[in-house]
Amino acid sequence: MSHRVGIDVGGTFTDFLLVRSDGTFGAYKTLTTSEDQSIGIMEGLDHFARRDGDSLRGFLAGTEMILHGTTATTNCVLTGSGAVTGLLTTRGFRDAFEMRRGVKERIYDNKYPAPFQIVPRYRRLPVGERTRHDGTVVVAVEHSDVSDACEALRAEGIQAVAICFLNGYANGTNEVACKSLVESELPGVYVSASHEVLPKIGFYDRLSTTVLNAYTGPILARYLASLTDRLSAAGFSGALLIMQSSGGVVSARSAIEIPAGSVESGPAGGAVAGARYAAVQGFSKAVTFDMGGTSLDIARIIDGRPANVQTSDFNRYRLALPMVDVISIGAGGGSIARVAGGLLQVGPQSAGATPGPACYRRGGTDPTVTDADLVLGYISPGGLLGGRVPLDIGAARDALERDIARPLDLSVEDAAVAVFDVVNVNMASAVKRVLHERGDDPGEFALVVAGGAGPLHAASVAKELGIAVVIVPRDASIFSAAGVLLSDLRHDFVQTAFAVLPEVDASKLADVFVSMIDAGREVLGSEGIPPEQQSFEFSLDMRYERQIYEIQVPVSWEVVQRADLANLAERFHSLHDESYGYELRDAKIELLNARVAAVGRTRPFWFPEQRAIAMPRATGRRRVSLPGLYRWSEVVIYDSESFGVGTRCVGPAIIEGASTSVLIPDGWEVESERYGNYVLQCRIEGADSSLTPRIS
């Protein structure tokens, strides 16, 4: 039997989803081994082997594909623990990295510090060279400058070198020569050249992205080497694919070439899964709400697909690679609650997997959201993950009393309620900000909930937002692992092709697209994707003359071939009006970059249909605090395994499973649809009445 495994490594838990060739599947969670994530991964794979009565070697011999979302690059950028990196750039421009675009994030805060310098000035070294904007090489690379720079960087124990020359996007000849010299002078050092990472106009964007790529390269390469060595030694000979921020997967080799493409690896998997879960219920607009142990990840689903961006700021550095538009805040089950200045604050600091919440009894003493949820009765005192993670409610109460209740003169129960309410308001505010900044009305969206903690908080957050429908996957806690398995292979290509409409040379533009199509076919072919499973998506970056931002305009290949400039201009005007509320039909339109997404379709997967069950099975009652009502009550606890197609219940209640528990507040109703997922509905004044559960 052949099977595939989706793996998502989070800050607290590592999630696994096994899909067998007969359509059956299995889910598993384990605590993340932060010292080496591959240890936890091997533990999860061994669990599946033992569950199937097989050895790890036998199980891996039958595994055709492992798809993996990783936080290896994310963590090193956020914590400043990346490789010791140097930068070689055109003489006179080495300070562009520190100056960025001359834009302050906080305009009126003169004391706001600059971001942590991942490449300090003494490791940013000049090289004599010059290439014009049209690609003409005026001055070749000064070999002596490169040699002197390598000698200086060698003394600093350099591990990675970024090369970014002015106008290198137009002609990479000088960067190629420089890279060759660096690799000969500094053997074994990771080298990243901007024309390979991001061949597009915009010097700072290209510079920052290339530096981040070099900074994360050795970290991801070392991690994947450790993982592949462990897998190979255990008998795995299938394909290892790595989730990318763009919402697609690539081979491990491709991931190491562009490691910066995986900085939002895990959250992107969640967005892909959210789009599928929403589509099954008939919603083309949804917002994913993935609340794990460390963070909350929010993504918009528009027209059935995750919204994406071409540039973003990651830990205050510009990253100009395509990625799913995900916003993350420090709000999860492990978020630490504290009193500061007489006010209760929850997050962004997290207890993580180690030492974890106080109730984990793993050395943590700070009160967290999980501790509050346990005290409020939302989590079974018998423990998480079917009892594999035992919980100590006494330790949770002690932590809340010491750090929250006493300073605020509250009872332990009221302190837990306060923590629950504050984190919910924080999360609702984040979702509102994401939607409102993009001109969206929350009432028009369904909320797709995931993460181990998400289903306990989702209904309260939805009510705060005015969202009437909440979709909770049956295995919400392994949501991102499901998203990884749902993802196709994807490689994104970009090339600057500046022109002003209507003076566009259609043949030259078509040639640009053809060169990227050829590159896409080559890389997908190297990953074993046959031509009939390959497809290509085309777009152009366009703007009005003198604008400093551009809009990505999707186009068909037919529009490119016909050189239908009127159609192209109309698409741009329409998208600009939709995005910014106005259009300038008399202004000139500039075309900046051509983009191609090469997609290799993988075998589709979805969960099997459930059998019909009329009445859920109650396993007991538990005293819980009713959200929003500020009173306690005995509520029914239902076994999640007793929910099948059409099973309904009315809150207040809790649906409890081994890895996912759902809190149904008073005034909410839940129904299980045909795949076993839960659809919650609340009639909220002002919500869109058309958003009713589409049970299928």
Tens of pLDDT, residue by residue over 253-294, are 999 999 999 988 878 888 999 999 898 888 989 999 988 877
Residue 215 has pLDDT above 60, yes or no: yes
Residue 22 has pLDDT above 90, yes or no: no
Contact 600, 524 (CB under 8 A): yes
Question: Crossing angle for the helix pair 72-79 and 265-280, nearest 10 degrees?
Answer: 130
Residue 689 has pLDDT above 80, yes or no: no
The pLDDT, as a whole number, for residue 695 is: 36
Q: Both tokens of residue 174?
A: 């000088």
Question: Crossing angle for the helix pair 393-400 and 412-437, nearest 10 degrees?
Answer: 80
Q: How many other CB atoms are found less than 10 A from the CB of residue 532? A: 7
Residue 128 has pLDDT above 90, yes or no: yes
21-30, 131-140, 307-316, 429-438: range with highest mean pLDDT: 131-140
3-state class (DSSP) for residue 544: strand
The pLDDT, as a whole number, for residue 38 is: 87
Left, alpha or beta for 627 (phi > 0: left; psi -120 to 50: alpha)?
beta
What's the pLDDT band for 594 if we cut at 50, 70, 90? Answer: very high
Phi and psi torsions of 197, nearest 5°: -85, -45
The pLDDT, as a whole number, for residue 690 is: 40
The pLDDT, as a whole number, for residue 429 is: 93
What's the pLDDT band for 1 if we cut at 50, 70, 90? Answer: low
What's the pLDDT band for 693 if we cut at 50, 70, 90? Answer: very low
The pLDDT, as a whole number, for residue 528 is: 87
**Separation of alpha carbons 493 and 447, rounded Å:** 32
Mean pLDDT over residues 95-119, rounded?
85
Give 462 or 25, the one with higher predicted confidence.
462
Q: Where does residue 78 rank: exposed (0-12), middle (13-18), buried (19+ CB within 10 A)? A: middle
Strands 124-127 and 85-90, sheet pairing: parallel
The pLDDT, as a whole number, for residue 90 is: 96
Same topology, domains 82-212 and 489-600? Answer is no
| The CATH classification of domain 82-212, taken from the options 3.40.190, 1.10.3210, 1.10.3470, 3.40.50 | 3.40.50
3-state class (DSSP) for residue 77: helix
Q: Tens digit of pLDDT for each residue in 597-653?
A: 999 988 777 787 788 887 888 989 999 999 988 889 999 999 988 888 888 899 899
Contact 73, 242 (CB under 8 A): no
The pLDDT, as a whole number, for residue 386 is: 67
- The dihedral formed by the CA atoms of 150, 156, 159 and 165, expressed in degrees to the nearest 10: -40
Phi and psi torsions of 490, nearest 5°: -150, 130
Mean pLDDT over residues 343-352, rounded?
87
Reported as half-sphere exposure (CB side, CA atoms, 13 A), residue 636 has a value of: 12
The pLDDT, as a whole number, for residue 683 is: 61
158-188 burial, b at 16+ Cβ within 10 Å, e below that, comes to bbbbbbbbbbbbbbbbbbbbbbebbeebbee
The pLDDT, as a whole number, for residue 694 is: 37
Residue 147 has pLDDT above 90, yes or no: yes
Residue 225 has pLDDT above 70, yes or no: yes
Long-range CB contact pairs, 391-395, < 8 A, 24+: 391/359, 391/360, 391/361, 392/358, 392/359, 392/360, 392/361, 393/359, 395/358, 395/359, 395/361, 395/371
**Separation of alpha carbons 59 and 121, rounded Å:** 50
Mean pLDDT over residues 70-75, rounded?
84
Which of 371, 365, 333 lies closest to 352 in space, CA to CA?
A: 333
Mean pLDDT over residues 343-372, rounded?
89
Per the listing, tokens 């003198």 go with 546
260-269, 320-329, 393-402, 477-486: range with highest mean pLDDT: 393-402
Using only the alpha carbons of the chain, give its radius of gyration: 26
- Parse the chain into domains and list their residue ranges: 3-76+222-262, 82-212, 489-600, 618-681
The pLDDT, as a whole number, for residue 692 is: 39
Q: Both tokens of residue 499?
A: 């022109």
**Separation of alpha carbons 592 and 247, rounded Å:** 24
Share of the chain above pLDDT 90, in %: 57
3-state class (DSSP) for residue 492: strand
Bridge partners of 553, per DSSP, are 540
The pLDDT, as a whole number, for residue 387 is: 67
Bridge partners of 314, per DSSP, are 317
Alpha helices in 527-556 (DSSP H): none
Q: Tens digit of pLDDT for each residue in 76-96?
A: 888 788 999 999 999 999 999
Q: Tens digit of pLDDT for each residue in 444-470?
A: 899 999 888 899 999 999 999 999 999
The pLDDT, as a whole number, for residue 687 is: 42
Q: Where does residue 257 rank: exposed (0-12), middle (13-18), buried (19+ CB within 10 A)? A: middle
Q: Where does residue 22 rank: exposed (0-12), middle (13-18), buried (19+ CB within 10 A)? A: exposed
**Separation of alpha carbons 397 and 624, rounded Å:** 15
What's the pLDDT band for 361 if we cut at 50, 70, 90? Answer: confident
For the chain, give the number of residues: 696
Residue 222 has pLDDT above 80, yes or no: yes
Average of per-residue pLDDT values in the chain: 89
CATH of domain 489-600: 3.30.1490
Q: How many other CB atoms are found less than 10 A from the CB of residue 405? A: 21
Contact 17, 6 (CB under 8 A): yes
28-37, 179-188, 208-217, 545-554: segment of lowest average pLDDT: 28-37
Q: Where does residue 489 rank: exposed (0-12), middle (13-18), buried (19+ CB within 10 A)? A: buried
Q: Tens digit of pLDDT for each residue in 512-553?
A: 999 999 999 999 999 889 999 999 999 999 999 989 889 999
Q: Tens digit of pLDDT for each residue in 48-62?
A: 999 888 899 999 999
Q: What is the pTM of this model?
A: 0.86
Fold classification of 3-76+222-262 is Nucleotidyltransferase; domain 5 (3.30.420)
Residue 441 has pLDDT above 70, yes or no: yes
